[in-house]
Amino acid sequence: MTADPRRYVLPIADAEPPRHIPYDAKDPDASFAPLEPLRPPPGAPNVVVILLDDLGFGVSSAFGGPVRTPTADRLAEAGLRYTRFHTTALCAPTRAALLTGRNHHSVGMGAVTELATAAPGYSSVRPKSAAAIAEVLRLNGFSTAQFGKCHEVPVWESSPVGPFDAWPTGNGGMEYFYGFLGGETNQYYPSLFQGTTPIEVDRTPEEGYHLTEDLADHAISWVRQQKALAPDKPFFMYFAPGAAHAPHQVPAGWAERYTGEFDDGWDALRERTFARQKELGVVPPDAELTPRPDEIPAWDDMPDELKPVLARQMEVFSGFLEHTDYHVGRLVDTIEELGVLDNTLVFYIVGDNGASGEGTINGSFNEGFVFNGAGHLETPEFLASKIDEFGTPSAYNHYSVGWAHATGAPYQWTKQIASHWGGTRNGTIVHWPAGIHAPAGMRSQFTHVIDVAPTILEVCGLPAPREVHGVQQMPIHGASMAYTFEAPDAAETHDLQYFECFVNRGIYYQGWTAVTRHSTPWLVEPLPALDDDVWELYGPDDWTQTHDLAADMPEKLAELQRLFLIEAVRYQVLPLDDRRIERFNPELAGRPMLIAGNSQRLFPGMGRLPENCVLNLKNKSFAITARVDIPAEGGRGVIIAQGGAFGGWSLYLHRGAAAFCYNLLGLQRFKAYGAEPISSGAHEVRIEFAYDGGGLG
């Protein structure tokens, strides 16, 4: 198919009006071509990209895992399973790469937005030379919408004052957005936006609310409206529910479907999964199961009193994932009922990175403990006391790293560890009956998340634009996967790819991989000098990276190490940055701060302010002064608060008197009260906190 030359420059230029126009509209020469709305090339399919969160290769039943995912199974049985599809090992970088077709450092997303620095590859700012795929499709006549997680907005641009260029409905190219900003949100009490407007949900969890169902409801309503009002107009939908990222929260009954299934632990689960994977054919018959790293305890070495809690963590997580797949199925069913599923190109990507090890060894009832360096407060006794609350609105739970490793079978390691396939290899399904005529089956060519955008463009008959909004575009880095649709044995075209996340790094080239693990997500440990990292080498026939050839083939290893550096320079990976704690501080990281100085004035009605858009009060003395007008019947309620049930503070009136509460991660609440109720009329209420230094803040 020859691309329309007009589509290389977007927006498509307006047609020039005729130079000579008759005076009278009744003149026979006063005829004009009918106006035609912008549409993609004839035959372009609808496109749906489904991206789940924090899932290892070996978790979904579609890839041999223990969690029943009938929607994924159904699409796979009528489509193609990609068994060597890769992500970046971390959520925001994967999403930025997916939505642009460029490597994540090249679009500024070398880490999550909260850790952005001034370095080009880590700024979290997508350059204008890398237009998002949704914007390219919109400017070519598609309807576009996003539902769920958006973790690509620079934190200093996430407030109500914008700018909104980086938001989905800005230059993200989405005509409609319903979802949340940031890496995660409470599934029962989410922080949602419609477009750029913060909204509250319409019911409580007791009344049946859950975020995944809500996102599916909105996606279903949107796609029905598209086909009701513009049936000839293709749509692009990006459905990214944020599940099964922690917190693992799921309505009652779903976790109970897995009662007792994990009582024998993560080592036994991994063995069972590997056997199923071989039966299914998602790994070859000669693949080997990689050993469990020493950093992850054996199930038999875990305390007996903790094992029921650990098993319950995996039951809740499994119910959460099955619940998510069910609501993805509702969306797929709706598209089928509209009669357009056959000509809809569906990517079902089961995870934006490997399974998350961020819950540490014991798992967590409230992952805020982990992120605040207070994991030691969650003792086995504490966790056991909360076993019945896991998955409910009163918990903010995460499972143990042992389950993360098990659900990444047969590969080594987890999320954040970009050096090994356990962090980057995610099962992916492509379904398009009208365009894929080969029998359903496996595709084992090396593919990467940056290949999705060029695949969409090729399938839709669209060129990668040379210019968008007057800005010359950088080349797309990915390679279309469309050549694999009809040719299961075709030679792979994507044969070179670097990986880097928190300085865990690797290089793939024509089947060979050279990798080095620099840091471990759940361990606080002194890190080696970059040049002291130990590299491993794996050969083309080693499907699971089991046999390290570094000592036997030092010249081959050196060749690949040099190739990594070449790619690192080419794609803005340097300077390598292994700082984790320091980068949370914008002053050290060099990213902008919306609020400068040491004071800030807020007004009534300014709700839903992200943490990065208000003063940072952690680990320092502070004072809050509020001007209030107390009614004659007395005052009550919150004046200002930051955080919620799982950590934070609140200044409020209790029985008419001033009160302050500091919530230590839901474990303990410290309260101070004014001596007397405040009388009616205008007053100032003030709280002063004196930080005594040291310890947790």
Q: What is the pLDDT of residues 310-324, one digit of tens each?
A: 999 999 999 999 999
Higher pLDDT, 585 or 217: 217
CB 147 within 8 A of CB 215: yes
Check residue 347 and give its pLDDT. Answer: 98
Q: What is the pLDDT of residues 617-629, one digit of tens each?
A: 888 899 999 999 9
pLDDT over 80 (residue 695): no
CB 242 within 8 A of CB 178: no
pLDDT over 90 (residue 400): yes
Q: Torsion angle, CA of 51/53/56/59, rounded to 10 degrees?
A: -80
Check residue 693 and give its pLDDT. Answer: 82
- The span from the CA of 539 to the CA of 561, in Å, is 14
The average pLDDT across 654-678 equals: 94
List, in order, residues 6 or more apart from 436 with CB less than 8 Å away.
Answer: 79, 80, 430, 485, 486
Check residue 325 and give its pLDDT. Answer: 98
Average pLDDT, the chain: 95
pLDDT-based confidence at residue 692 (cuts at 50, 70, 90): confident
High-pLDDT (> 90) share of the chain, %: 89
pLDDT over 70 (residue 696): no
Q: DSSP character for 459? A: H
Q: Which of 15-19, 158-162, 453-457 has the lowest mean pLDDT?
A: 15-19
List, in order, residues 6 or more apart from 149 with CB less than 8 Å away.
Answer: 53, 91, 95, 179, 180, 182, 183, 184, 185, 240, 241, 242, 245
Kindly report the number of other CB atoms within 10 A of residue 277's CB atom: 23
* Closest to 321 measured CA to CA, from 59, 498, 636, 621: 59
List, in order, residues 6 or more apart from 570 with CB less than 8 Å away.
Answer: none
Check residue 694 and give its pLDDT. Answer: 76
Check residue 616 and give its pLDDT. Answer: 86
Check residue 369 and give its pLDDT. Answer: 86
Kindly report the number of other CB atoms within 10 A of residue 601's CB atom: 6
Q: What is the pLDDT of residues 118-134, one digit of tens each?
A: 999 999 999 999 999 99
CB 205 within 8 A of CB 391: no
Handedness of CA 643, 644, 649, 653 (dihedral sign): positive
Q: DSSP character for 64? A: T
Amino acid symbol at 633:
E
Q: What is the pLDDT of residues 513-563, one digit of tens each?
A: 999 999 999 988 899 999 999 999 999 999 999 999 999 999 999 999 999
pLDDT over 80 (residue 697): no
Check residue 264 and give its pLDDT. Answer: 98
The average pLDDT across 388-408 equals: 97
Amino acid symbol at 406:
A
pLDDT over 80 (residue 3): no
Check residue 48 and give its pLDDT. Answer: 98
The secondary structure element, H or E, covering residue 428 is strand 428-431
Q: Which of 467-471, 492-496, 632-636 has the lowest mean pLDDT?
A: 632-636
List, in order, residues 6 or more apart from 279 with CB less than 8 Å away.
Answer: 64
* Residue 134: strand, helix, or coil: helix
- The span from the CA of 599 to the CA of 150, in Å, is 30
pLDDT over 70 (residue 259): yes
Check residue 192 and give its pLDDT. Answer: 97
pLDDT over 90 (residue 91): yes
Q: Which of 27-36, 191-200, 276-285 has the lowest mean pLDDT?
A: 27-36
Distance spanning both ends of the chain, measured CA to CA: 61
The average pLDDT across 316-335 equals: 98
Q: DSSP character for 411? A: S
How do 176-181 and 143-150 pair as beta strands?
Answer: parallel
The secondary structure element, H or E, covering residue 537 is strand 535-538
The owner of tokens 């989405």 is 174
The average pLDDT across 648-677 equals: 94
- The span from the CA of 626 to the CA of 103, in Å, is 47
The average pLDDT across 435-448 equals: 96
CB 523 within 8 A of CB 512: no
The average pLDDT across 216-243 equals: 97
Residue 402, CA distances (Å) to 190, 290, 328 in order: 28, 14, 27
* Closest to 316 measured CA to CA, from 249, 365, 404, 364: 249
